[in-house]
Structure 1
């Protein structure tokens, strides 16, 4: 099974290219840390900017990317990948493009946090697993790796102890805990420093403890 990886020399062009980007926080040229938000199905880039108000730091530049028609891919993340193309490839390219934008502004990838919720968390974890290197952090709120099957042998490389946080309910209606557990396994195999927390009866949302987990990642980057 082949794994699509973004090629900088031949960027993928699809439904999520040339979409709007919402930014906030410190000016990009003044920031020490970059954080990229990836929204869930039916949501928006603007809605993800509420997370920027939760973190205590004045040196972060936030960028929230927008999916075409508010959806990164049409079917469940548990469907075969082929059924969710070209959305997945286009979404991965959109994340890569924003990392490149931050790099060009002087923020290295090791100072960039990727944070996604729900469908956006699935895209975020998939991107990091396919493009392992040292990131500032990888955050998956209620999400996991994409596909009807996940084979850890299909992911290779090193995340170089990148801090990864995976948070989800034990009864999330969209995200089976088994997929979060498998995502944890893949990231540990890739050499990430993984924290996984399963919250009893939480539902499909984000709680304050999860926010604090991300705040700790930010604090450790200072």
Structure 2
């Protein structure tokens, strides 16, 4: 696994005192500026939290401006919607890309904890789409237990290799639109099932009619979860 130093926008704790950390992990083709706008929305519930939103390590293969955590060249959401039984195989094929890039993300987490002199139990990951895939790849394998993971519109990759690699079991909440045309909601149902079977405290909130995105109700669910686990 290669490690690339990550950087991106930061929003300091609103109170001026940092007692916890949230790291946003953006989706494919975006960058850190895409999710950092959620920080002011979450700050009222998390006044002592600093928010980081690193750019993914690689230029996006399908966009001249965005970034990617790993390649999606083999990903076909239309095929997955037509035949959900193909999903485990498709997600397994993406897992190696996620695995190869966890070192960069783990290094970013290490540095944030060291800078603020906090332990992992005061840091949560909030992912969207491919960012959720990264959060669910790294979180259970990170050497210390994180405070929690919020996964919007994502998937669990390589579920068949999860069990023997679990190091810790942070609480997880998944939020996914029922009308998502990019990552079918079945991906989060599968993630919930596999994570629960492996002893994780995991909840899934399906947002009726929502496409690939984050709505106000989903953000409120995330804020409540983060406040509970970072306080």
Shorter-chain TM-score bucket reads: 0.7 to 0.9
Correspondent of 1:73 among 45, 67, 70:
70
Q: How many residues align?
A: 204
TM-score (structure 1 length as normaliser): 0.80
1:175 paired residue number: 183
Correspondent of 1:120 among 112, 124, 131:
131
- The separation in 2 between residues aligned to 1:155 and 1:52, in whole angstroms, is 32
Structure 1 unmatched runs, 5+ = 1-11
Structure 2 unmatched runs, 5+ = 60-66, 77-86
Cα RMSD of the aligned pairs, angstroms, is 2.6
TM-score (structure 2 length as normaliser): 0.77
2:157 paired residue number: 146
**Superposition pairs of residues 86-97 of structure 1, within 5 angstroms:** 87-97=97-107
Deviation digits for residues 163-198 of structure 1 (CA, Å, limit 9, x no counterpart): 311011223112233321221123223433212011
Structure 1 19/98 Cα, relative in aligned 2: closer, same or farther at 3 Å? Answer: closer
1:60 paired residue number: 49
- The separation in 2 between residues aligned to 1:203 and 1:48, in whole angstroms, is 17
Correspondent of 2:26 among 32, 39, 42:
39
- 1:213: how far off? 1.5
- The separation in 2 between residues aligned to 1:52 and 1:58, in whole angstroms, is 10
Secondary structure of 1:18's aligned partner: coil
Verify the 8 A CA contact 1:38 1:48 in the aligned structure 2. yes
Tell whether 2:111 aligns with 1:111. no
Deviation digits for residues 36-78 of structure 1 (CA, Å, limit 9, x no counterpart): 1111011110121011011112211111111221111122396
Verify the 8 A CA contact 2:12 2:51 in the aligned structure 1. yes
Larger mean Cα displacement after TM superposition, 119-128 or 130-139: 130-139
Correspondent of 1:98 among 104, 108, 120:
108
Secondary structure of 1:35's aligned partner: strand
Verify the 8 A CA contact 1:155 1:186 in the aligned structure 2. no
Tell whether 2:145 aligns with 1:156. no
More helix by percentage = 2
